[in-house]
Amino acid sequence: MENKILKCTISYDGSKFYGMQYQPNKKTIISQIKKALNRLNIQTQILHAGRTDKGVHALNQVISFEVPIYWDINKLQKILNQMLMPEIMFKKIEVKQNFNPRFDAKKRSYRYILSPTTNPFIDNYITYYPIPINTQLLQNALNLLKGRHDFEYFAKTGSDVNHYIREIYDAYILKYKNFHIIKIIGNGFLRGQIRIIVDFLLKINENKLSLKDLELQLNKSKLINKHLAKPNGLYLERIWYNN
């Protein structure tokens, strides 16, 4: 039977999952979507634009899979949302033949949200950080990251990639109400890269590390700090494609 490829834009609450990737006997985004599709008698492989760690959220993650050609995509979207919401939401489904969500992506953006206050209703969705933030200092640090660099020292150990060269197009910090938001846009990111960068930034803010330390690690002159910031405040924000 002939199939069609679907490009799906989804959002999810990462605090409810052990990450994006399938893991045996673990509740992950892929495993839950696959269960829902299996209930509809759709047996298919699910591809995704990038994997997020346990506790990391997504506003506009992109996945793809094949379905029999007779499926109406509006009906499918409605049924999947009935099965998966509120933890996972299918925001958009479109037919897109010869589409690969990972290799066709042109750039991606992440945001990281810091809050000086916390409570049980927001704790899973922000990173509690009660220390005053020097936005100009952190913007100076973010400016150093812009451009094309070898980010090997900003990747989780064991990252399965051919190379560590990535380009950051823009990076900035802004204040919105009571929150500070760090936003980074690039052509792609390594496993743990954003969280390692954020942890480095916060240590610079606390005068535990310096801009010079960041330069040394960025140039691979010295490995200084490779700790991960908490996942709570991290969001995969957007993925760009040519069309």
Q: What is the pLDDT of residues 132-184, one digit of tens each?
A: 999 999 999 999 999 999 999 999 886 677 899 999 999 999 999 999 999 99
- Residue 52, phi then psi, degrees to nearest 5: -110, 150
Give me the residues paired with residue 66 across strands. Answer: 5
For the entire predicted model, the pTM comes to: 0.94
Whether residue 201 contacts residue 182, with contact meaning beta carbons closer than 8 Å, is answered with yes
Which pLDDT score is estimated for 101?
95
Nearest of 131, 168, 127 to residue 151 by alpha carbon: 168
Q: How do the domains of the chain map onto residue ranges?
A: 3-95, 107-240
Residues labelled catalytic: 53
Return the beta strands (E) in the chain as ranges: 3-12, 47-48, 57-68, 88-95, 107-115, 127-128, 147-150, 165-176, 179-186, 234-240
Highest CATH level, class, for 3-95: alpha beta
Topology match between the domains 3-95 and 107-240 = yes
What does each of the 243 residues of the chain score in pLDDT, given as a tens digit? 689 999 999 999 999 999 998 888 899 999 999 999 999 999 999 999 988 999 999 999 999 999 999 999 999 999 999 999 999 999 999 999 999 999 999 999 999 999 999 999 999 999 999 999 999 999 999 999 999 999 999 998 866 778 999 999 999 999 999 999 999 999 999 999 999 999 999 999 999 999 999 999 999 999 999 999 999 999 999 999 987
Furthest-apart CA atoms within the chain: distance in Å: 62
Task: Kindly provide the residue ranges of all beta strands, DSSP E only, lying in 123-233, ordered along the sequence.
Answer: 127-128, 147-150, 165-176, 179-186
How confident is the model at residue 162, as a pLDDT?
A: 83
The domain defined by 107-240 carries CATH number 3.40.50.10420 = no
- Give residue 5's pLDDT: 96
* Residue at token pair 């949200």: 113
Q: In this structure, what are the phi and psi dihedrals at residue 179, rounded to the nearest 5 degrees? A: -105, 150
pLDDT at 157: 80
